[in-house]
Structure 1
Amino acid sequence: MDTTDSTHPNHDADEKRIRALVARTQEAQLDPEALPALHASDLVLINFAGRRLFGRETFASAMAEALSSPLKDVRTTLEVDDIRFATPDVAIVSLTKTIHDERSGTGDASALPLAGAMTYVMTRQGDDWRISLAQTTPIR
């Protein structure tokens, strides 16, 4: 269900750009250079475990660390549920995150939630959009 603000002057074009950005985040989820570049430099990110990161560089460092651990075998997919424009340059995007845990030998994987409610706050930067805030709440 999308309940976007149809009075926004570039509604359709911006919605397409936002959806394309979400798709690019999925494609880049194992690339510690490409994924952070899709985020604003002053990003605030709260991950699935509740760890809060401030700034794109901190995110890139944490991502590189995670990719050198068994977390490299955890993939996610995102489904856009709703896009709302707070202003023409700020969008609040509600998503459902699905977790695909392909790690072996890590104990009871069923104890992990397999889905999360994710929120992005995206900001227009030039002609494109960047993720300024990303927050995921596990769904049990």
Structure 2
Amino acid sequence: MDMSSPTPPADETDEQRIRELAAQSQTAQADPDLLPALHTADAVIVNIAGRRLFGRDAFASAMAEALSSPLKDVRTSLRVHDIRFTTPDVAVVSLTKTVHDERPEAEAPSELPPAGAMTYVMTRQDGDWRITLAQTTPIR
């Protein structure tokens, strides 16, 4: 298999739709119903702290738990750097996740890194792009 050049997008709107999905995921970060819905049912999530979750339901549960804790005051912003299509229906998206820890100092342990190198694998299912894998590596 030749890995030297990525497959071009299936049509000219795919890259824009993927960028919009990444933006939606940032906007929905405090919505435990909407953010998981942007993922496939069998999604795998590895967060910036290294917690691995299997499936949209596990993600929704973990998200609801986090939003009922002081972590509700930690938000993130995303910047897309690169989109590569491995097939017309699969894209690898390279992003930077910046952490904005707005917890009061007494609640804010210092272990959260200020940023992470994030990778999304997105797949097209029934005409819609969804996040299949989200993995974040801390940048110290």
1:51 aligns with 2:60: no
1:121 aligns with 2:118: no
- Equivalent in the alignment of 1:70: 70
- Equivalent in the alignment of 2:133: 133
Task: Say if 1:102 and 1:86 are closer, same or farther in 2 by CA, change over 3 A.
Answer: same
- Equivalent in the alignment of 1:98: 98
Percent identical pairs in the alignment equals 68
The letter of the residue matching 1:74 is V
Task: Say if 1:107 and 1:101 are closer, same or farther in 2 by CA, change over 3 A.
Answer: closer
- 3-state DSSP class of the match of 1:8? coil
- 3-state DSSP class of the match of 1:113? coil
Over aligned residue pairs, what C-alpha RMSD do you find? 1.5
Tell me, in whole angstroms, the C-alpha distance in 1 between the residues paired with 2:60 and 2:8.
36
What TM-score results when the alignment is normalised by the length of structure 2?
A: 0.91
Q: Which blocks of at least 5 consecutive residues in structure 2 are unaligned? A: none
Structure 1 ranges of 4+ moved more than 4 A: none
Q: Which blocks of at least 5 consecutive residues in structure 1 are unaligned? A: none
Q: Please report how far the alpha carbon of residue 5 of structure 1 lies from its aligned counterpart in structure 2 after TM superposition.
A: 4.7
1:35 aligns with 2:35: yes
What TM-score results when the alignment is normalised by the length of structure 1?
A: 0.91
The number of equivalent residue pairs is: 135
Task: Say if 1:49 and 1:108 are closer, same or farther in 2 by CA, change over 3 A.
Answer: closer
